[in-house]
Structure 1
Amino acid sequence: MEANSVIHKPKRQKLNEKQGIEGQSKCFGNLPDVVLRHILSFLPIKDAVRTSVLSKRWEFLWTSNPNLNFGEAVPGMRRMLMYFVERVLYLRGSSDIKEFLLDFDVECDASLVKSWITAAVRRNVQTLSLCLWDLRRHFSLPPCVFSCKTLRSFFLDMPSILKIPSRICFSNLEILSITGVTFLDGNTTQQLFSGLPALEVLYLENCRWGCRKVLSISAPKLHSLTIIEAHMQDPSDCQFKILGATLKCFLYTGEFFNEYCFYDSFSLERADFDVVCCGKWASNERARQVAYRMFKVLLSIPNVKDLRLYGIGYEVLAYAPELLPKMPIFNNLWYLKLGTLNLECAALLKILQNSPCLETLKFFEIDPISNCEKVDLILDPATSCFLSHLTRIKFCRYDGKDFNAVKILLKKAIALDEIVISFEKSVEKNLEMQENLLKQLIKLPKGSENCEITLK
């Protein structure tokens, strides 16, 4: 009996495996076409096409895949990609397209690329993502793009002049992202940025605004605005008026080539500024211009709750010290995040003094303090947030070299409940060094008896 069971057990196991596979295959094959098409919609279009070899039934199921992602062609395979795009669009007939993504070097095939985009628009595309490069001749998008009523998300990365038709109807567009584009026609550009009734998210990166001096951004549902203008050659000088009645978040990176001012920004909750200086500015006049523009945008967002200043976001104000007495009062600011903490910077001290309800202060690096007594005197009497609201300080990437700033903060922040310190990588791996630092931190005098020091 034992020998018999040993002989037959492997056979019975193989039979069960075979039955399981057949059962699963049969079950999968019994699914309705609409379910199989839904499953295929999660596959990249190239993989979906490969399923056509499975059986006669699967041969054309992929053609109704609503998501078409045509990525950058492998070197030497450009013509094959073009043929593939043409075949996919032809075989799918008139069925709707949900997402159409095209990353393509246009070269001399502008008319063909336009026909693909037009085909997507005519099939009620909802998400259109175009990354077009190597534009050897003048290229303009098909006018139908700007009157597509089904379009909800539009991503355009195109180092070229954007020709905007006189008729624009983005009635359902919720997300708009534009990168590398040059706007020349001032009237149509203004029409574009004031004719977006459903827009919620706007992203502008390294765009040029031609000779236009003033541009208004007005979208009644806009809640997130990101503007990046870094490493630009021949940047424009434009004044942006942002009507932000519903705006919640504003993120900026750059050198303030343009000027920004908010109107009706009562709903703004978060503002990020990463002010960069690519090399030394040509003159103090340029530095003062950046300082004035930084100050002007801060002046227009006094109700912000979450403020993040990176790069030289506040230090640049030192180039225009006459502005500091006019710094706004940030009555709603409860969270302040800094790239670098410089307690000797008058602009930062002014921001702290004008933020009476600040609860959390976070920073990544500390500038060494050269004159502790001077800083101590400046903060005496301590700012109102240090006396009543500042309960948490988070210090990231601490290298353990400078205790002065930490010492001053512990002494002045008498409402402090916790200071959280995480170390940079060189200290993270040295447990003995961490223990010594903790011992030194514990010995520092504290203005708050309830303050706990947490190391991460």
Structure 2
Amino acid sequence: MAKIEFSANPTHLPKHPHPQTSPPPPSNRDETRNSVDYISELPIGIILHIFSFLTSKDAIKTSVLSKQWRYIWTANPRISFSMPPCYNRRMLRSFTAIVDVVLLRCTAVKVKSFHFDATRLFYNSWLRFAVGPTFHRWLRFAVKHDIEEVSMFLDHDIYTLPKFFFRCTTMVSFHVSHCHFSMMGAVNWSSLKRLRIDHAKLEDNAITRLLKGCPVLEFFELKGCWGYEHIKIESRGLRELVIDSHKYDFVHGQILKISAPHLLKLRILGDCERGEFKIDKVSSFVEVELNFKMDYYVSGQLQAQSQGDLVRRLIQSLHHVTKLVMGNLCLQVLSFMEARGVFLPSLECRHLVLRVAENHEGAPGIVKILESSPHLEKLFLQMACRPTFMVNNC
């Protein structure tokens, strides 16, 4: 068994030792007797805190450090697994068997977090049927152990969240990607405060049921999702909404409507291709970030005018916010408006953050926004690494 030791009583030699008076070198027995095994003497609470920074696989490896650490990993309330590349059934079975053993030997009464990353799972036609029962079993373990934080990252739409998971009343934070919500049913996430959904199809009624089943939700993010065209938020507790890379389609319309009379923060980010935003009941907003890209299948003057109309409407409806963050597209649109003498309403923002492209594209828009911000107190200019998108103003 490997053992890490630190000497508590090092031997100090005299500065000018005399050959006849120099003490004999200490024996190995004396070093062993005087050493202290600090690793084994660490309190269990500190060891479990160390485990919180490790995956479950790495936490198990620490059992070789000392006898004290040999079985402590079974009491770790934070379970984390990252699936290695799996190309076939044998590799998948080997990994799932390891996870099953860890969950079987877990002695923690309450599990704080369950993190599962399967983004390196290669797609096969049999995969959907192979992983379903296994993932069900792991989520049921989490629910039975009063889980608080869950994150599941997949790279293919191969898994549908089970009905029982939507009745997990102890969960506080949930982050999921590439999962289906078709089996949702009634939602009772009575303790959930943070919800992040990536790359999933969600229709309007599904979002409504989710929000209704999360009475204490404070943060809600949709990234790369599609299928919905109206987000209606009635909750007074939800403080922040993030729409990142919204995917429009011709079936569900080209306009995303957001109605949130009590929301405080709104962030529209990423590549929101070919669509528009319509925001209603925005009087409660205090902070807004507009840092998105819009791609159209038209070019030239028509594209610039479409983008200009969208940004101008957004700024007009959000003129009262105290903190405004604007990305490169908005600055380019403002430059386009400046060149054509388009009027911009007076803004009440006191804190302004502008994300400028490396090639200074959109710099005239900075002048435009500053002229319209008479109450400004703080200005931050953030230079992007590269220009990400352009407005054709020919």
TM-score normalised per structure 2? 0.75
- Choose the corresponding residue for 2:93, options 67, 73, 79: 79
Deviation of the 1:249 alpha carbon: 5.4
Task: Report whether the alignment pairs 1:205 with 2:223.
Answer: yes
Alpha-carbon distance in structure 1 between the residues aligned to 2:318 and 2:21 = 81
Deviation of the 1:302 alpha carbon: 1.7
Aligned to 1:175: 194
Task: Report whether the alignment pairs 1:21 with 2:35.
Answer: yes
Deviation of the 1:66 alpha carbon: 0.8
Deviation of the 1:166 alpha carbon: 2.9
> In the alignment, is the contact (CA less than 8 A) between 2:234 and 2:262 conserved in 1?
no
- Choose the corresponding residue for 1:316, options 333, 339, 358: 333
Alpha-carbon distance in structure 2 between the residues aligned to 1:233 and 1:300 = 22
Aligned to 2:245: 229
Alpha-carbon distance in structure 1 between the residues aligned to 2:303 and 2:22 = 88
Report the residue type matching 2:22 in the other structure.
Answer: V
Aligned to 1:255: 272
Alpha-carbon distance in structure 1 between the residues aligned to 2:39 and 2:372 = 68
> In the alignment, is the contact (CA less than 8 A) between 1:215 and 1:240 conserved in 2?
yes
Alpha-carbon distance in structure 2 between the residues aligned to 1:73 and 1:219 = 41
Aligned to 2:322: 305
Deviation of the 1:92 alpha carbon: 1.3
Report the residue type matching 1:356 in the other structure.
Answer: P
TM-score normalised per structure 1? 0.66
Q: How much is the aligned-residue C-alpha RMSD, in angstroms?
A: 3.6
Change (3 A) 1:344 1:101: closer
Query: How many corresponding residue pairs?
Result: 352
Change (3 A) 1:134 1:251: closer
Deviation of the 1:115 alpha carbon: 1.5
Task: Find the residue that maps to 2:374 and give its secondary structure.
Answer: coil
Change (3 A) 1:20 1:83: farther
Alpha-carbon distance in structure 2 between the residues aligned to 1:80 and 1:214 = 44
Deviation of the 1:305 alpha carbon: 2.6
Deviation of the 1:322 alpha carbon: 9.8
Alpha-carbon distance in structure 1 between the residues aligned to 2:172 and 2:248 = 32
Deviation of the 1:101 alpha carbon: 0.8
**Which structure carries more helix by proportion?**
1
Aligned to 2:54: 43
> In the alignment, is the contact (CA less than 8 A) between 2:149 and 2:173 conserved in 1?
yes
Instruction: Tell me which moved more, 126-135 or 288-297.
Output: 288-297
Aligned to 1:116: 138
Between the aligned residues of both structures, percent identity stands at 22
> In the alignment, is the contact (CA less than 8 A) between 1:229 and 1:253 conserved in 2?
yes
Cα deviation per residue 1:239-275 (whole Å; 9 max; x = unaligned)? 3324153514535233362414152444513x32223
Task: Report whether the alignment pairs 1:127 with 2:168.
Answer: no
Task: Find the residue that maps to 2:233 and give its secondary structure.
Answer: strand
Aligned to 1:380: none
> In the alignment, is the contact (CA less than 8 A) between 2:353 and 2:379 conserved in 1?
yes
Task: Report whether the alignment pairs 1:358 with 2:380.
Answer: no
Report the residue type matching 2:330 in the other structure.
Answer: G
Aligned to 1:97: 111
Task: Report whether the alignment pairs 1:145 with 2:165.
Answer: yes
Question: Over alpha carbons, which structure has the higher Rg?
Answer: 1
Alpha-carbon distance in structure 2 between the residues aligned to 1:298 and 1:116 = 46
5+ unaligned residues in a row in structure 2: which ranges?
A: 1-16, 386-394
Aligned to 2:26: 11
Report the residue type matching 1:117 in the other structure.
Answer: L
Aligned to 1:162: 181
